[in-house]
Amino acid sequence: MNNPTSAFTESSLSFDFEEAGGLLAKAASEQRDSLSINELSQLCTGLGLQSLTRPERLPEAILTQSMFVEIRNTREFGMIISAGLGGVNQEQFATSFAKDEAKVCASTTLTDASAFFELFKRSFCYKQLAGLVTDEQLLSCFSGMIALANYFSPDNPKASYVIDCLAINPLIFTDGLMIPLDGHCRFSEPADGLAARPIEKIGKLLHPESIGIIGVSASKMNFGRIILKNLLGSGYDAARMTIVRPGGGEIDGVNCVDNLDALTHKLDLFIVAIGAEGVFDLVDEVIASDAAESVMLVPGGLGETQNSYEPAAAMKKRINAAHLQKNGGPVFLGGNCLGVVSHPGGYDSWFIPRERLPKPQKKAQRHSALISQSGAFMVTRLSKNPWLDPAYMTALGNQSDISHGDMLSYYVDQETIDTIGVYIEGFNDLDGLAFADAARRAVLKGKQVIVYKAGRTNAGKSSALGHTASEAGDYSLCESILKQAGVMVAKDFTEFDDLFYIASCMHNRVVGGRRVAGVSGAGFETVGMADSIASGRFSLEMSLIEPSTAKQLENILVAKRLDALMEVRNPIDINPGADDEAHVQCTQAFAEASNVDAVVVGLDPLSPMMRTLAQCSRPGFDLDSELSVAQLLPALVREQQKPIIGVVDGGGLYDAMAEKLMDQGVCVFRSCERAMESLARYTEARLFADQLRSQLQ
């Protein structure tokens, strides 16, 4: 199992783990999996709390001025800590309050008492406890709980037991004392872990020197044949490919061999495109023959259905056992896997015909990666916005072996990749923790991670289970931990597209703060910009206008004879009479202002003064004119280090304008609210990443 190192360091703690372990051992010897009230009381005193008492009548303060604190072992993230409003209404508080108001939670491996306390300070619970408890008392309590969690954790080989749940609720405050009134503690013996996957072999998967494929039809265009066509169409050398198919000969110029034993060399990548019923035996054969470094399992029916669950689970055990071998065995991608597009590796193994999804190069240098459990998710994203243009697109499918955490960990160390988008339906056991750890390492290296996590609703959780055999898990917990790691978590597919796109465009831009300026010749658009600056708790600020900037803007309005119509303000409405040059000049004036961090400019495609049509009946007013905003704005964007976003709010007639700008590296949105909301989310993430780096480096 590729998990981050446990946060536990025994030498730095004063907590008596031997005594706590003795309490658990005593209970286990009596065939109990939970502590008694007296034993729990002893544990509480070790945490710096008073002895646990259960009064006959609960004080009124429990209802209004109490808290809970809990550590819990979760399937995806291992040990977590939670704290918030307590008492009998704890669950009601959790559903009635806004996110992170009633309670906060974090991974104990990825946080410490100080960081968790800062998170807790933003909750309503902290405000309600003002004057009843000191910050030092809360810090001490959190420190003890985190230390306890990290010792009695699945990650700590020294621990004889794992604390499944230790909850203290309610915890009240009287005369400066922290008094627990109730709680419970459940524990278990550690489970056997998985072998470490040799994730360095992902390099063979993404940059194969040789590829084998099984399941290619010589007579019809089945999935295997489409994959073969795409491999050849992407330029992969037929001489480096081998088809496993009885009868020998060639298909499309690629040599065929009867079986794996007939291979003359070990494959870097073996693509399996046969029916699910034949996969299980073939996996055994690949492992036994050591035929490949990496294997791509294309077929579905490998764990998504009831009939395939048991054989798929047995297959996973055999794959895990192979990882215990000296060479680590092969790594497996899938099943239920669309495949991989690796531009650096020079191949496309998707089973989508190229005519249905051309992949033109839109970037001079591709620098992003897209990881997805769903192949259709990737296909749709790229079809809708070819300018995403990732260097790598990898479909994980059912995660029979290679997981989200593995793929992200691999990209963390790839210097050419700075932006990583991920679609997640569910995590394998403890892979949520591995993923969050990898995400934080990526952010600390200056990379950007954008995630859409399925399972926000019960219906979504059920769909994930049926699609890729994934347990979606606790969405709120996942969202909290990923955000704390510096991940941008998208609430829907549109926001994912927008965040992945803006991150790809702006990675090398300087995000110095939250002050934004807006320009448009349409009054409604300036209003829309101002109305869209907030994103949750975070908000951009419409920057003040410095006198020197105001003078520049006034001079532009005078020169364009617009001064009698409009006033200088932010956002500035420069009137439909403003031409292309006026838009760019006003954008430049704001971009050069020291108190502006980003500029959003509406490009008014329908204005008769703008050169925005591919072909215009008015001479000199088409996109190819050297005076067109499509020619002028890209030059300004290249010169400036600050984020500049163009808005083309118009119908299909103006697609050519948007495409021309995007082809030249301008970040373009088709509405002002999407532009501003995306900028707000992106700015929030960049500023938080800066804060995270300053704290941890």
Residues 6+ apart with CB under 8 A from 77: 107, 430, 432, 433, 436, 477, 478, 481
Q: Name the band, by pLDDT with cuts 50, 70 and 90, for residue 94.
A: low
- What is the rounded distance in angstroms from the CA atom of residue 223 to the CA atom of residue 229? 10
Beta strands in 285-438 (DSSP E): 292-297, 331-334, 340-342, 347-348, 368-372, 392-395, 419-424
Q: How far is CA 461 from CA 50, 338, 468, 471, in A?
A: 41, 21, 11, 7
509-692 homologous superfamily:
Succinyl-CoA synthetase domains (3.40.50.261)
| Whether the predicted pLDDT of 127 surpasses 50 | yes
DSSP code of residue 345: T
CA angle 242, 245, 246 (to 5 degrees): 135
Average pLDDT over residues 265-275: 98
The domain made up of 10-188 has a fold known as D-amino Acid Aminotransferase; Chain A, domain 1 (3.30.470)
Q: What is the dihedral of CA 482, 484, 487, 488, to 10 degrees?
A: 100
The DSSP H or E segment spanning 180 is strand 177-180
- SS3 state at 372: strand
Lookup: tokens for 332: 């497996």
What pairs with residue 214 in β-bridges?
A: 244, 272
Q: Name the band, by pLDDT with cuts 50, 70 and 90, for residue 80.
A: very high
Does 509-692 match 199-505 at the fold level?
yes
Give 13-29 pLDDT, tens digit per residue: 456 888 899 999 999 99
pTM of the model: 0.93
Lookup: tokens for 339: 């495949």
Give 313-345 pLDDT, tens digit per residue: 999 999 999 999 999 999 999 999 999 999 999
| pLDDT confidence of residue 7 | 43
| pLDDT confidence of residue 487 | 98
Counting beta carbons within 10 angstroms of the beta carbon of residue 697, is it exposed (0 to 12), middle (13 to 18) or buried (19 or more)?
exposed
The DSSP H or E segment spanning 312 is helix 306-322
Q: How far is CA 559 from CA 562, 572, 589, in A?
A: 8, 16, 14
Q: In this structure, are residues 601 and 587 in contact, taking their beta carbons and an 8 Å threshold?
A: yes
Please indicate whether residue 102 or residue 60 has the higher confidence score (pLDDT).
102
| C-beta neighbour count of 415 within 10 angstroms | 8
Written as one string, the DSSP assignment of 590-659 is HHT-TT--EEEEE--TT-TTS--BSS-SSTT-BTTSTTSHHHHHHHHHHH-SS-EEEE----GGGHHHHH
Lookup: tokens for 28: 């286990």
Distance between first and last Cα of the chain: 26
Q: How far is CA 220 from CA 217, 251, 336, in A?
A: 6, 11, 21
Residues 6+ apart with CB under 8 A from 185: 34, 35, 39, 40, 43, 163, 165, 166, 167
Q: Does domain 199-505 have CATH number 1.10.10.60?
A: no
What pairs with residue 535 in β-bridges?
A: 538
Give 510-556 pLDDT, tens digit per residue: 999 999 999 999 999 999 999 999 987 889 999 999 999 999 999 99
Task: List the domain boundaries for the chain.
Answer: 10-188, 199-505, 509-692
Residue 629: what residue type?
V
| pLDDT confidence of residue 428 | 94
| Whether the predicted pLDDT of 121 surpasses 70 | yes
| Whether the predicted pLDDT of 492 surpasses 90 | yes
Among all chains, which residue has been given the structure tokens 């993230």?
77
- Of 291, 231, 285, 286, residue with least CA distance to 264: 291
